[in-house]
Structure 1
Amino acid sequence: MNGACESLPPVRGTYQFGAALKDLVWFRAGGAAEVLYRPADADDLADFLTRRPPHTPVTVIGVGSNLLVRDGGIPGVVIRLPAAFGKVEVDGLRIRAGAAALDSAVSRRAADAGIAGLEFLRGVPGTIGGALRMNAGCYGSEIKDVFVEATALDAKGVKHILKPADMGFEYRKSNVPADLIFVEAVFEGSRDEPAAVKARTEELLARREESQPIRSKTGGSTFKNPPGAKAWKLIEEAGCRGLRHGEAMVSDVHCNFLINLGEAHAADIEALGEEVRARVKEKSGIELEWEIKRVGTPGAQR
């Protein structure tokens, strides 16, 4: 443990040293967190950020649905927001959701309230915090379409209220400072009959179940779609469907998904992804960009 982590401030939440992260991410692979911190609430998190040693690295993770933790683990403090940050409330046509709320839970709550426009979140794995960071979306809709505002804390624990113009939303990304930690967001939809919203939500979910390997150990959509092209089609045309590296494999259900067949190392998964990128570039001249966030250091830690 480095010196910065040895002098962490007291918190009302919990610290866990050497916490295994493979149990917390969908790939079920990768190393440990030097320190895993679960804040009690937003005030506890703000106090930690204000008082932490200035050179301590901080990494925020959600449920790890679009995340690859490298085998050497993550140095410094990994922050994972617990259930206290997962509340979902309805106010008219608006939904206020904590950053730890599951995207699917927000979609279901909106459907129950007869709020249309958030159906797509039923098909987005992960939490609201991650969805904000990457402007998550599917089937033609994305976060920016329903976004009203977000609350975030900066590296010094100062609270910021971000409006649409502050987010700099682009395809599968936002352009907010990397050190901001989202704690909640507000979205707005339109009025519709709950039964109609639920029907569209279930239809979207059925499409996802038919076309994606959602029951496998995967990190979700691996590469961003290049302008004017589909990543899965480029991967298939490059002959990568079913390609393997150790126990990591390109899914034969949807080839923009990498899956862990058993006990794959994070290094196997990342190497497979890089081989796919190389084959696609050789075949089409297009360089795929990772959509999955890769964090931590290489190594043999398990």
Structure 2
Amino acid sequence: MTADSLRGKLLLNEPLARYTSWRVGGPAQRLYRPADVQDLAQFLSELDADEPLFWLGLGSNLLISDAGLPGTVIHTQGCLGDISQLPDGSIRVEAGSSCAKVARFASRQGLVGAEFLAGIPGTMGGALAMNAGAWGGETWPLVRQVRTIDRRGRIRERARHDFEVGYRRVSGPDGEWFVGADLTLEPGDTEAAQARIRELLDRRAATQPTGVPSCGSVFRNPTGDHAARLIEAAGLKGKRLGGAEVSPKHANFIINLGGATAADIAALIDHVQHEVKRCSGICLQPEVRRLGAFE
């Protein structure tokens, strides 16, 4: 691959802490910010077949190790960010679009049903990959079809039935990643939709630790219960390990007090799991994915 063939930006040994919402993580051997989907396709088509490959949007559901990542990281946020309305009224979004931006765009078009996306601190690529949700809404009920790309740069249109979707879980064809989706929403009142977004953001600010580095919710809610209740019942609100703390405001958030390492956060996640299991018998399952080497 030659630099002249690329329209995006290729960075070497790029620190990843600046790209993650926890503000932790070592360097990427290579980080690529594509100019658009076609540029991404060309970049991937020229990668070695055994090149380790990782995808990063807003970095809100990832814990990247302090040692960093080998191979190549594809950074989509701020790159694959187009949003448009199709003639049939549906919305076409690229994977690097922030969920909050999609919610605002839909409301301006007089479409309702996407307001909950304003409460998800990530991109649509991550939301599609994990069926992200907030305030009673989930991503995949909105999806009409998706676009994926494989590591050889081949782009495909996929129907919803190509994927198995559950609570914070999506599985589909191996070796493909989301680069976009078409969302079906209902016509509604713009002012009401925008008021709903403001209401949800106010609730988020009142109940969650905004303004400090976190990844959003750390654990999935077990059936019939809430992870935050179980963590609080185990006496873990305010628990600290190194520079990481279980938020005193919302027990299902772990925050970086400043100077936390990925190892601190990983150790605190493990401690919370152990203590909740000891106190309640319930094994909490993390929503956050760990990337790289952890002891």
TM-score (structure 2 length as normaliser): 0.95
Counterpart of 1:157 in 2: which secondary structure?
Answer: coil
Pair 62,84 (structure 1): closer, same or farther in 2 beyond 3 Å: closer
Over residues 100-136 of structure 1, what are the superposed CA-to-partner deviations in whole Å (9 max), with x where a residue is unaligned? Answer: 0110000001111110100000111110100000101
Residue 32, structure 1, aligned to residue 4, structure 2: no
Superposed displacement of residue 258, structure 1: 0.3
Q: Corresponding residue for 1:194?
A: 190
- Residue of structure 2 in register with 1:183 after alignment: 179
1:213-265: CA deviations, max 9, x gaps?
Answer: 12111011000111121111111111111100011000001000000001101
2:31 is the alignment partner of 1:57: no
Q: Secondary structure at the match of 1:183?
A: strand
Q: Is 1:163 aligned with 2:162?
A: no
Residues 84 and 70 (structure 1 numbering): CA distance in 2 closer, same or farther, change over 3 Å?
A: closer
Which whole-Å CA distance do the structure 1 matches of 2:231 and 2:194 have between them?
Answer: 34
Matched residue SS, 1:239: coil
Q: Tell me which residue corresponds to 1:149.
A: 145
* Residues 276, 282 of structure 2: 8 Å contact kept: yes
Which residue, 207, 210, 216 being the options, matches 1:214?
A: 210
Name the stretch that deviates more: 212-221 or 170-179: 170-179
Flag structure 1 segments of 5+ consecutive residues without an equivalent.
Answer: 1-5
1:232 paired to 2:228: yes
Measure the CA separation in 2 of the matches of 1:9 and 1:61: 24
Q: How does 1:1-302 map to 2 (within 5 A)?
A: 10-91=5-86, 92-177=88-173, 179-298=175-294
State the alpha-carbon separation in 1 of the partners of residues 173 and 44 from structure 2. 15
What is the alpha-carbon distance in structure 2 between the residues aligned to residue 245 and residue 149 of structure 1? 43
Query: Partners in 1 of 2:156 and 2:4 — Cα distance?
Result: 23
Residues 156-177 of structure 1 show CA distances to partners (whole Å, capped at 9, x for unaligned) of 2221212111121110121024
For 1:27, the aligned partner's letter is W
Helix, strand or coil at the partner of 1:59? strand
Aligned partners of 2:28 and 2:279: how far apart in 1?
A: 38
1:257–1:116 CA distance, 2 compared to 1 (3 A):
same
How many residues matched? 294
CA RMSD of aligned residues (A): 1.7
2:25/2:262 contact within 8 Å kept: yes
Higher-RCO chain (CA-CA 8 Å, sequence separation at least 6): 1
Report the more deviating stretch, 176-185 or 217-226.
Answer: 176-185
| Distance of 1:113 and 1:7 partners within structure 2 | 42
CA distance in structure 1 between the aligned counterparts of 2:201 and 2:210, rounded to whole angstroms = 11
Counterpart AA for 2:40: L
Classify the secondary structure of the residue corresponding to 1:23: helix
Runs of 4+ in 1 over 3 A off after TM superposition: 6-10
- Shift, 1:7, TM fit: 9.2
Change (3 A) 1:177 1:296: farther
Q: Secondary structure at the match of 2:70?
A: strand
Distance 1:68 1:190, change over 3 A: same
Percent of matched pairs sharing the same residue: 40
Contact 1:167 1:175 in 2 (8 A): yes
Deviation at 1:155, TM superposition (A): 1.9
Contact 1:240–1:276 at 8 Å: present in 2 too? Answer: yes
TM-score where L is the length of structure 1? 0.93
What is the DSSP-based 3-state SS (H/G/I as helix, E as strand, rest coil) of the residue aligned with 1:214? coil
Alignment-mate amino acid for residue 279 of structure 1: E
Cα distance in 2 for partners of 1:84, 1:272 equals 33
2:121, 2:154 → 1: CA distance? 29
Give the C-alpha shift of residue 10 in structure 1: 4.6
Once the two structures are TM-superposed, the CA of residue 183 in structure 1 deviates from its matched residue by 1.4
The amino acid across from 2:45 in the alignment is T
1:187 partner amino acid? L
